[in-house]
Amino acid sequence: MAMVAVLGSFFTAVEVARLVAGYPAAVLAVPAVIFAFTVSRRPGGEPVPEKVMAAATLSVLAGGSVWLGSQMAGHPVICGAVFVVLMAGSIWTRRFGAAVTRLGALVPLALIAALLPAGSGTGRMAWWPLCGWMALVGFSAFVWVRVVRRVAEKLTGLPGSQPGQAPAKRSAQRAGLSSRTRMALQMAVALTAAFSLGHLVFGEHWQWCVISAMVVSLGPVGRGDLALKGVERGLGAMAGTLVAALIAAVAEPQGTTSIVLIFVVLALASTLRAYNYAFYAAGITTALSLFYGYFGQSPQHLLLIRLQALVLGAVLAVVVGWFLVPVRTSDALRLRLGATLGTLGSVLDARSDGASAAKALAAFDAAATNLNASARSHRLYRAATRKLGTGHGITPADAGEALLATRGPVHALAASEPGPREAATAETVRLLRRAVSAPADPLPELPEPAAAAPLADLDAALRRFAAAIPALAKRRPPEPASSDDVLQPPVSAA
Record the pTM.
0.79
Cis peptide before 108 (omega within 30 of 0): no
Q: Tell me, what's the pLDDT at 480?
A: 42
Taking the C-alpha atoms of residue 131 and residue 29, their distance in angstroms, rounded to an integer, is: 14
pLDDT, position 201 = 94
Q: Contact, 42 vs 491, CB < 8 A?
A: yes
What is the reported pLDDT for 45?
67
First to last CA, the chain: 20
Encode burial over 119-140: b for 16+ CB neighbours within 10 A, e otherwise: bbebbebebeebbebbbbbbbb
Q: What is the pLDDT of residue 451?
A: 86
Backbone φ, ψ for residue 388 (5° rounding): -85, -5
477: nearest Cα among 330, 303, 367? 330
Separation in Å, CA 149 to CA 122, 314, 359: 32, 35, 18
Question: Is residue 59 scored above 70 in pLDDT?
Answer: yes
Question: How confident is the model at residue 39, as a pLDDT?
Answer: 85
**Model confidence band, residue 115 (pLDDT cutoffs 50, 70, 90):** confident
Task: Write the pLDDT tens digit of every residue in 230-269.
Answer: 888 778 888 888 888 888 778 777 677 777 888 888 888 8
Q: What is the pLDDT of residue 159?
A: 56
Q: How far is CA 221 from CA 132, 255, 374, 458, 481, in A?
A: 36, 41, 7, 28, 15
- Tell me which long-range contacts 48-54 makes (C-beta under 8 A, separation of at least 24): 50/99, 50/102, 50/103, 51/146, 53/103, 54/102, 54/103, 54/106, 54/142
Contact between 127 and 70 under an 8 Å Cβ cutoff? The reply is yes
Give the Cα separation of 50 and 156 in Å (integer). Answer: 25
Residue 133 has pLDDT above 50, yes or no: yes
Highest mean pLDDT among 307-311, 380-384, 401-405: 401-405
| Rg of the chain over all Cα atoms, to the nearest angstrom | 24
Q: Give the mean pLDDT of 146-151.
A: 89
pLDDT classification of 413: cutoffs 50, 70, 90: very high
* Burial tier of 10 (Cβ tally within 10 Å: 0-12, 13-18, 19+): buried
Please report how many Cα atoms fall inside a 13 Å half-sphere around the Cα of residue 358, on the Cβ side.
8
Confidence of residue 297 (pLDDT cuts 50, 70, 90): low
Q: What mean pLDDT is predicted for residues 286-301?
A: 71
Task: Select, from the ranges 122-126, 293-297, 364-368, 395-399, the one with the highest average predicted confidence (pLDDT).
Answer: 364-368
pLDDT of 330 reads: 80
d(CA 435, CA 442): 8
Question: Comparing C-alpha atoms, which of 337, 327, 240 is closest to residue 292?
Answer: 240
pLDDT of residue 376: 83
The one-letter amino acid code at 372 reads N
Cβ neighbours for 461, distance < 8 A, ≥ 6 positions apart? 402, 403, 405, 406, 409
Split at pLDDT 50, 70, 90, the class of 395 is: confident
180 and 488 Cβ atoms separated by less than 8 Å: no
- What is the pLDDT at residue 278? 84
Residue 227 has pLDDT above 80, yes or no: yes
Q: Is the peptide bond before 454 cis (omega within 30 degrees of 0)?
A: yes
Quote the pLDDT of residue 122.
Answer: 53
Q: Assess whether pLDDT exceeds 70 at residue 118.
A: no
Report the 10 Å Cβ neighbour count for 171: 16
Average pLDDT over residues 420-432: 92
Question: What's the pLDDT score for residue 484?
Answer: 43
CA 101 vs CA 94, 104, 258: distances in Å? 5, 5, 35
Contacts of 66 (CB under 8 A, 6+ apart): 113, 114, 117, 127, 130, 131, 134
**Does 161 score more than 70 pLDDT?**
no
Q: What CA–CA distance (Å, rounded) separates 356 from 414? A: 12
pLDDT, tens only, 325-357 = 887 878 888 888 999 999 999 999 988 777 788
Position 185 scores a pLDDT of 93
For the chain, the average pLDDT equals 81
CA distances from residue 205 to 259, 292, 458, 474, 482 in whole angstroms, order as listed? 22, 11, 53, 46, 40
Instruction: Count Cβ atoms below 10 Å from residue 255 Cβ, excluding itself.
Output: 11
Question: 3-state DSSP call for residue 485?
Answer: coil
Evaluate whether 332 touches 128 at the Cβ level (below 8 Å).
Answer: no
Q: Mind listing the pLDDT tens digit for each residue in 61-97? A: 888 887 888 788 788 999 999 999 999 999 999 888 8
- Listed range (147-151, 178-182, 465-469) with the worst mean pLDDT: 178-182
